[in-house]
Amino acid sequence: MAISVQQLGSAIPDFYAGFKPYLAITKAKVVMMLVLTAWVGVALAPDVGRSLGHQLMSLLSIGLISASAAAINHVVDRNRDRKMARTRHRPLAMQQLSVSKALIFAVSLAVAGTLGLLLFSNWLCTVLTLLALLGYAVVYTMFLKHMTPQNIVIGGLAGALPPLLGWVSETGALAAEPWLLVMIIFAWTPPHFWALAIAREADYARAGIPMLPVTHGIQFTKLCMVVYTLLLAVTCVLPYLIGMVGYAYLIVASILNGLFIYLIVRLYISHTVQQAMGVFRFSIWYLLLLFVSLFVDRALV
């Protein structure tokens, strides 16, 4: 049976509308950032002669498992999401997508990502990536997030692992160098999320999520942000000190950390919701530019 151009043209928007809720629960922008940091791990790892195709498939597989973790997060948090202005329009909160469909989708992504890593990478990378999935989707989302104001600090390790995963996908072995990149993301995570938590403090309180501004107050949270940002600045120097990267990275990292410290200190002295959101948005660009500078630095070597 022939399909007319008009029928085909109307089918494409219908397909996109049907797929859009699935795409939304994967947190695609976050996943792309995670894949970028994993790609840096691949780029900085010793050259072992793997093909570009195997590298790309490994990164895609890491992305699929990350998307699965995000989808599970949406399922678990759907009731709390309805209470928060920032999240009440999510597909599961608005019942645009059923729990069963979301879970089937999440499991499918995880299975596809696992098979991809087994076929195109190695067993160690597969195990570590699945542990990261469990760390975020189960340990953090189901327990830590609702039990302790240190939820972001403890649970941040799962989101900090992609550079290590990229390195291990290439080499099949653990090493000290990628752990420095993990430490950078680990130190970056608290000031990044606490800036959002300060801006949305009433939202988190209403949803019953014990974020640090809710349990210990905004001023104490800002002090913790200053401490972690200073720790982040020191951590960023370590890859240069061990000869992992060169001057190009060090210059960019120094400028970014100077700006980050300035914004955090300004927020500490006198804050508004707009300033807190400004810190949050800058922190995203900070991590993106910092890891892009690692690519550039490697290309200049």
Give per-residue pLDDT as tens, 145-198.
888 998 998 888 899 999 999 999 999 999 999 999 999 999 999 999 999 999
Q: Which two tokens stand for residue 284?
A: 């995203």
Band the pLDDT of 13: cuts 50, 70, 90.
Answer: low
Tell me how far CA of residue 275 lies from CA of 20, 219, 222, 264, 265, in angstroms: 32, 14, 12, 9, 11
pLDDT for the residue numbered 19:
86
Q: Which two tokens stand for residue 119?
A: 């076929």
HEC letters along the chain = CCCCHHHHHHHHHHHHHHHHHHHHCCCHHHHHHHHHHHHHHHHHCCCCCCCHHHHHHHHHHHHHHHHHHHHHHHHHCHHHHCCCCCCCCCCCCCCCCCHHHHHHHHHHHHHHHHHHHHHHCCHHHHHHHHHHHHHHHHHHHHHHHHHCCCHHHHHHHHHHCHHHHHHHHHHCCCCHHHHHHHHHHHHHHHHHHHHHHHHCHHHHHHHCCCCHHHHHCHHHHHHHHHHHHHHHHHHHHHHHHCCCCCHHHHHHHHHHHHHHHHHHHHHHHCCCHHHHHHHHHHHHHHHHHHHHHHHHHHHHC
Spatial distance between the Cα atoms of 206 and 224, rounded to a whole number of angstroms: 23
User: Virtual CA dihedral for 221, 36, 128, 111, nearest 10 degrees?
Assistant: 110
Q: Which two tokens stand for residue 1?
A: 């049976």
Q: Is the pLDDT of residue 1 over 60?
A: no
pLDDT for the residue numbered 6:
55
Model confidence, pTM: 0.92
Spatial distance between the Cα atoms of 150 and 195, rounded to a whole number of angstroms: 14
Block residue for tokens 């801006």: 199
pLDDT for the residue numbered 8:
44
| 73-103 residue pLDDT tens | 999 999 999 989 888 999 999 999 999 999 9
